């Protein structure tokens, strides 16, 4: 009976010998990546470099753009949103990377018109729609924020754009495994507790 040697299995990413890559392979790997779509380089050195640059840009966004966007969220002004985003159009090249932060902030301000624009991918987002399930860097989603604030209209908007009711918190910086319903119930319980026990207490708690 004729026997054949076992077929060699393809190396997994962890087994890949990245040290043997040529400059051409590294260059093609970089060209193929698209951080705005969460497609990162395969080579660990390139991936580490891109992640570092993304974090630098994210820090700049938080320090420069995010504060300028707050008036748009407070007024729920699409016009103001357009104006600020046009001034900082270079950040919009990484919309998907920034969207979880943007959409969660919109939800926290109950900025329905702004959130609707982001979810539909209208200008200044140039057709790229915000993912209603995108996780904030701390592990929650816009739906959790809307539920925490009892923003019924925002919850309905997120549902219409595909946010599932069974999405849970995830990550080291948040209590894991919480549904949006858990967050709403917990917050309602806290409100009830404060009403019952702090009616004559400190006005800040009230």
DSSP single-letter state for residue 77: -
CB atoms within 10 A of CB 55: 11
Q: Are 29 and 46 in contact (CB under 8 A)?
A: yes
pLDDT-derived band of residue 9, with 50, 70 and 90 as boundaries?
Answer: very low
DSSP 140-203: --HHHHHHHTT-HHHHHHHHHTT--TT-B--STTS-TT-BHHHHHHHHHHHHHHHHHH-TTS-T
Rounded Cα distance, 119 and 100, in Å = 11
61-92 pLDDT, tens digit per residue, is: 888 888 999 999 999 999 999 888 877 776 65
DSSP helix/strand/coil, 4? coil
Share the mean pLDDT of the chain: 81
Average pLDDT for residues 134-156, to the nearest whole number? 91
**pTM exceeds 0.85 for this model:** no
Asked whether the beta carbons of 195 and 203 are under 8 A apart, the reply is no
Nearest to 113 by CA among 71, 73, 69: 73
**Is the pLDDT assigned to residue 12 strictly greater than 80?**
no
- Residues 19-58 pLDDT 10s: 889 989 998 998 888 776 668 889 999 899 888 888 888 8
Instruction: Name, in order, each residue with C-beta under 8 angstroms of 151's C-beta and a sequence gap of 6 or more.
Output: 107, 110
- The whole-angstrom separation of Cα 98 and Cα 178 is 23
Task: Output the pLDDT for position 8.
Answer: 46
Which comes out higher in pLDDT, residue 177 or 7? 177
Backbone φ, ψ for residue 179 (5° rounding):
-80, 165
């Amino acid at each position: 009976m004729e026997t054949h040697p076992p077929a060699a299995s393809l190396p997994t990413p962890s087994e890949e010998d990245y040290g043997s890559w040529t400059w051409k392979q590294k260059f093609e790997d970089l060209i193929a990546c698209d951080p705005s779509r969460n497609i990162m380089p395969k080579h660990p050195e390139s991936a580490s470099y891109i992640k570092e640059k993304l974090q630098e840009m994210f820090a700049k966004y938080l320090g420069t753009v995010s504060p300028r966007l707050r008036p748009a969220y407070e007024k729920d002004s699409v016009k103001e949103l357009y104006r600020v985003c046009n001034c900082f159009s270079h950040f919009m090249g990484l919309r998907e990377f920034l969207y979880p932060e943007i959409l969660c902030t919109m939800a926290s301000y109950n900025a329905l018109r702004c959130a609707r624009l982001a979810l539909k991918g209208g200008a200044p987002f140039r057709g790229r729609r915000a993912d209603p399930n995108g996780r904030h860097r701390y592990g929650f989603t816009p739906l959790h924020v809307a539920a925490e604030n009892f923003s019924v209209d925002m919850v309905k908007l997120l549902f219409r754009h595909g946010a599932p009711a069974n999405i849970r918190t995830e990550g080291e910086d948040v209590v894991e495994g919480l549904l949006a319903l858990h967050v709403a119930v917990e917050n309602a319980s806290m409100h009830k507790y404060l009403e019952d026990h702090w009616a004559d207490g400190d006005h800040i708690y009230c």
